[in-house]
Amino acid sequence: MSRLEDDAVQLALSLELPDHAHVPGFNARHHNELLESVVAMASPITSNNGWRENPAWLYGIRLFNQGFFWEAHEVLERVWMNAQPNSRERHLVQGVVQLANARLKEVAGRTKAAERLFAIAGQCFERTFAGGVESLMGISAGELASQTASPGKTGKRIQLSDCAI
């Protein structure tokens, strides 16, 4: 791992987590300057080659893994916007955002909405890994297939290769 990669990983691990997970309709949305500052740290171009150097990507995955689904969506939206249109990276991040939305709907007890979002996430991941691509931005195709195939298991984490987020 390069120094820049190591710095981004350490930053993503050292940033505080929000004091609570926001669930619309169930608790108040917190104004979190931290999320805004992390969004500002997003790499200007989201790419497979630079995922380990993108603190917003890494922190967004950390938020997801800790059950902060709304917050993960907020951070990862910028990562998605910085990916090239119709690129595998854009499809991947869109799928992770939809997966976070699906998990959020599960937490809120909105099963039908969650099922619809799991299906959308699955379609994004199919486009991401079409043609036999096995992994992208540290995530394997199998990892995401298991995520969308198991609605109702909000505790599932997204594992990044060679990165302890």
pLDDT tens-digit profile of 63-87? Answer: 999 999 999 999 999 999 999 999 9
What CATH code is carried by the domain that includes residue 83? 1.10.3450.10
Residue 63: what pLDDT? 96
Domain presence at residue 163: no
Question: Does a structural domain hold residue 142?
Answer: yes
The model's pTM: 0.91
At residue 162, does pLDDT exceed 80?
Answer: no
Name the 3-class secondary structure at 86: coil
Domain of residue 67, residue span:
3-148
- Looking at the structure of the chain, the number of domains it has is 1
Work out the angle at residue 66's Cα, subtended by the Cα atoms of residues 64 and 70, and round it to the nearest 5 degrees: 45
Whether residue 5 is predicted with pLDDT greater than 60 in this model: the reply is no
d(CA 54, CA 52): 6
